[in-house]
Chain A
């Protein structure tokens, strides 16, 4: 099974919302669509799923165009919406039936998923009576009730409290283990970094970066140095040509040109009679890469 998106484009009133985006997924996992608000993530998703007409390009699942009639996909939109005046179980059954399930199957699946996400106690309550976090879980259940192979999650963690965030994190991991293909959009880079092996980075509708996350980061090399010492080492760093990136309560982060610079700085600190508690050389975060790329794109 594979998902292949090629050269998808869409313009609104002459303005390009998405310009020739391409990516593919050849095995189960999480694919990341990242970018700021208005970057074109939701438009891309809507084009892939056939909710809106694309101007050009194609989105195929196993070589066939994707549509609600040709394949089983689940989609959780960014703008959450459920029937507030309807009982939770009733609307889950309704969504299941719309996706071709029988009433019995939809009910069984809904109850099973509710159990899994810990919302069984709300099954006979009106949706408006349950908390926002639980409403989000119900929305996710509506996405997964028919056991789709391709799952598209638009900003799945937005508005969730830490407990529910952890629950959804765990669930996404389980879905991948079950063989699901997940396309996840987010503007929270740390989230994408945690889940996605591959990604596309969008800015104003343009693809500014795409590929395997590890390879992207490796391409940047070791650029960051985290240091925790007893005394402030910033003056020493400046002497050695390191650029201060961030000064936090318990550590300081510098930009380095490579491992040699880090080695030289370590010798200088030790020569100064200090022994660092933490001395970590690392690749740039996705957030930093994005800022750099988006800055270039501007």
Chain B
């Protein structure tokens, strides 16, 4: 079973490796490095001179929450395992333990990194001795481990309702535990945390569960993989890209806006595809976060930074639509020239991108003082998008 697990991990990386170089080649790395260095300057300045009533504990809790409450477990299971591995269920403990441990180690290292990053922020408000860093790190590991096991148990639940309740509960408990830990560094606080976590852990016995909920685990694994491929597809064509489809009935009405004409066939196809795909959710979420940040951040250059980031990343995401349907059988059958597909893809993505640029521009221009620079940036974004779309049109 140990060998099987190792083999699965190897196979996964073999599958993903060819795409990674495209991710590393892209502008994304430069983007991350630049934002990281800019961020660190800002962070240092903040640490030296923190605003007096800034809710540091609350912020710390919210950031740490992501790394404590989110704890996906990769099992590398496949659909065929329903036939071949289910009969060996009683021997699978080793395999699943390894899955949980491996996920814990990866996410634990990220957690450590984040804690190193945030510790100075914690120091701003708290008296500490030299051991606090390590004691807290140990505590964080223990929370993470318990919540990870909690996540594993959740997956085995028979009913989806229980799963949903417990998933909310997991976030809630993570939040409370973190907040108590960071705010009241005291013995009473530790006792309280201990009681909460014990209760949480014991309560799993009360919920009807499978020993191993194979279908659920396979579904979760597939979704996880789909997310990885969706990310990779921003950079390169990924044939394994599996698609989840959402109807979005209200929005679907806007499909009627595409005129019923032969030349719009692909515009229609890609517009519908966009509305129904995961891509839509990603872009909307990012734009919304962008709007909130641009509106409420008080540091001006951060606004500029967020504006540019949203324009750049949304362009990157929307263009991954071009990988959809390119191997679809019907595309070769329609009495339409091949170039019309590319044209349709680009026309559709350009229009959507313009709309995103305009939407993010509204809070941006309304809240900055240098209006001229604001409009110049808006015009420049549209122009660059146009140039990029055109150059892609030639390349494809």
A and B pair up: no
